[in-house]
């Protein structure tokens, strides 16, 4: 029997009823104190027919925030809020993992404790503007992390993982993509360090590998995924040799026995040319399950799975606008169109009110 989007699959210890994954989507609708609220429970439960839900990116500490109204995963109240989400998804037969996030330099003092500077591998101000409670403001020059601070960052990932397990998640995804802290360490456009965490590819990978080692020790490697975005220029990102870098990342992550590697196969929110990249080669280097992401429809998703180029396919905006995307794809029903005006922040409108079939 042919394998397609609707075939079951195991990603490590996480068994999926189909291969359609809901991609992580920032929606800026958490309650006071970064606590998930009732409408967040409804939103995720509505999409429980996905084989796997990956939550919106979720800060691992107060210093990890970079946008308004984000949920966190580091306080008891946040754990309790997320427990309502996981209970609702599990009650509908779904699986859900949480994406662990540190934004690094993509923040602003107004979003951080005591108005401190954002942190980064190097003191390089990104081009662009931060989303704050006061509106868009220019990014600031971040403070370069001292090597002595990095074990504390790793410890924050460990604590967030412990919180995620307490909240009932089926696993965690380490966010090393889209120009945030771990990606900032990986790419030489943002990492100009001269210590053991900068310079060579091996050194630039070190923090990601430190985090992966620590998180897998807590959760079990077969419940941990990692997300990368080799050619995404979002958040003023660049690398001089992305294929060499991310091929090595894939090889270095393989021995952990992770649940999956999740790759953004192109550029999102980006203008201009995208570097050439061979994702099929990357996928072959990673000895484990692979989730493909970016611009897939039903036909392309089925083709990627049939060819072995992906084990599962992540869909973002289609799941945002179609809670029952799996059912619609099964019968080739028309899709709801997404309202971009309600993507970030707001009420239930454009969040929980998209119709099902």
Active-site residues, by number, are 180
The single-letter DSSP state of residue 56 is E
Q: What is the C-alpha separation between 95 and 17, in angstroms, rounded?
A: 9
Classify 30 as helix, strand or coil: coil
Q: What is the C-alpha separation between 82 and 80, in angstroms, rounded?
A: 5
- Nearest-5° Cα angle at 62, 56 to 66: 55
Q: What is the C-alpha separation between 242 and 101, in angstroms, rounded?
A: 22
Contact indicator for 108, 139 with CB cutoff of 8 Å: yes
Nearest to 16 by CA among 24, 7, 25, 28: 7
Contact indicator for 204, 187 with CB cutoff of 8 Å: yes
Nearest to 204 by CA among 252, 263, 236: 252
Q: Which residues contact 339 (CB under 8 A, 6 or more apart)?
A: 321, 350
């Amino acid at each position: 029997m042919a394998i397609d989007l609707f075939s079951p699959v195991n990603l490590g210890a996480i068994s999926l009823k189909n291969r359609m994954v809901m991609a992580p989507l920032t929606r800026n609708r958490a309650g006071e104190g970064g606590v998930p609220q009732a409408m967040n429970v409804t939103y995720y439960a509505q999409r429980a027919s996905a084989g796997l839900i990956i939550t919106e990116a979720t800060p691992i500490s107060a210093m990890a925030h970079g946008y308004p109204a984000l949920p966190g995963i580091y306080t008891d109240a946040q754990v309790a809020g997320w427990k309502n989400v996981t209970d609702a998804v599990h009650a509908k037969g779904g699986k859900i993992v949480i994406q662990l996030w540190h934004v690094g330099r993509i923040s602003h003092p107004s979003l951080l404790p005591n108005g401190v500077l954002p942190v980064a591998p190097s003191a390089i101000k990104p081009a662009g503007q931060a989303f704050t409670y006061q509106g868009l403001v220019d990014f600031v020059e971040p403070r370069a992390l001292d090597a002595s601070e990095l074990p504390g960052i790793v410890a924050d990932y460990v604590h967030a993982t412990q919180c995620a397990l307490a909240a009932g998640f089926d696993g965690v995804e380490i966010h090393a993509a889209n120009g945030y802290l771990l990606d900032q360490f990986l790419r030489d456009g943002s990492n100009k360090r001269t210590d053991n965490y900068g310079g060579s590819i091996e050194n630039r990978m070190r923090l990601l590998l430190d985090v992966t080692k620590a998180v897998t020790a807590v959760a079990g490697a077969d419940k941990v995924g990692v997300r990368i975005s080799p050619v995404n220029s979002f958040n003023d990102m660049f690398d001089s040799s992305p294929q060499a870098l991310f091929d090595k990342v894939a090889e270095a992550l393989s021995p952990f026995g992770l649940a999956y590697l999740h790759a953004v196969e192109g550029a999102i929110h980006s203008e201009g040319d995208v570097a050439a990249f061979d994702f099929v080669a990357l996928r072959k280097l990673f000895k484990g399950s692979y989730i493909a992401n970016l611009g897939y429809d039903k036909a392309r998703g089925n083709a990627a799975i049939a060819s072995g180029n992906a084990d599962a396919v992540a869909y973002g905006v289609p799941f945002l606008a179609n809670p029952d995307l799996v059912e619609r794809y099964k019968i080739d029903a028309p899709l709801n169109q997404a309202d971009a005006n309600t993507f970030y922040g707001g009420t239930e409108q454009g969040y929980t009110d998209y119709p099902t079939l």
